[in-house]
Structure 1
């Protein structure tokens, strides 16, 4: 048996018909699946930032999208292992000049954040909140997700 005698048996006879229809322009390609949408009315923005010595970081695009202004009062809270920053007239912290945000020293110590550490920023535009995720949190989330994707136990 030669390759020439095996290949026609493996190729479906409809293939030539589909190829001729595609060449004629009657179809433009395979139908695309409908993608799931987030449950938010407005999308969230994502970014990475590096903390400086004072715990400051910036992403002007996010700050503008959140509608924050320099000198605006902020509340900073640690919920589980996520730093949540939101406008609050009674907040103890303020948006520094240059549309930066700050992770206060006690929160940095609690999260073991140091100058030069990278963080994931998530601006939830519906809630007006900036969530700051540490790389430790990202490792845990990604490892758990990969365990589900690849099978096996959570890491």
Structure 2
């Protein structure tokens, strides 16, 4: 028998003529104006954030969107979102994100405002205790 076995899968040869695109994942160190507050989430999933919203120059009736990044909820302005900043300067966290992060009615969360990034970050207590290395019950 003179035939050789053939492999089941032969990976394609890489195209070295196309340059690779790299993404800078280093933390940004040029942020100087970070603002911190705490607030309790209400029964409808809203968080009062008047001081931080003023610093971000966000106003009632502007629409926001919330996304999950690791254990942090990030909120940005989004003209296509149905969620509005209410007249009391409260932002809305959708129920799905509250469930994924373990945030319940009455829980206190840490809010971090980054005016240079136009970003409001919501940190549940569970995420902060993980950062500190403290076990959560």
Cα contact 1:70–1:94 (8 A) shared by 2: yes
1:46 corresponding residue in structure 2: 36
Which of 108, 116, 121 aligns to 1:126? It is 116
Residues 114 and 43 of structure 1, relative CA distance in 2, 3 Å threshold: same
Kindly indicate whether residue 57 of structure 2 is the aligned counterpart of residue 67 of structure 1: yes
Identify, as 1 or 2, the structure richer in helix.
1
Give unmatched runs, 5+ long, in structure 1: 1-37, 145-155
Cα contact 1:40–1:126 (8 A) shared by 2: no
| Whole-angstrom distance in 1 between the partners of 2:33 and 2:56 | 12
Residues 138 and 92 of structure 1, relative CA distance in 2, 3 Å threshold: same
Give unmatched runs, 5+ long, in structure 2: 1-27
| Whole-angstrom distance in 1 between the partners of 2:43 and 2:129 | 23
| Whole-angstrom distance in 2 between the partners of 1:107 and 1:122 | 17
Deviation at 1:118, TM superposition (A): 0.7
Residues 41 and 77 of structure 1, relative CA distance in 2, 3 Å threshold: closer
Task: Please show how residues 38-117 of structure 1 align to structure 2 within 5 Å.
Answer: 39-117=29-107
Cα contact 2:64–2:84 (8 A) shared by 1: yes
Aligned CA-pair RMSD: 1.6
Q: Secondary structure at the match of 1:121?
A: strand
Give the structure with higher Rg (CA).
1
Deviation at 1:92, TM superposition (A): 2.9
Deviation at 1:40, TM superposition (A): 2.9
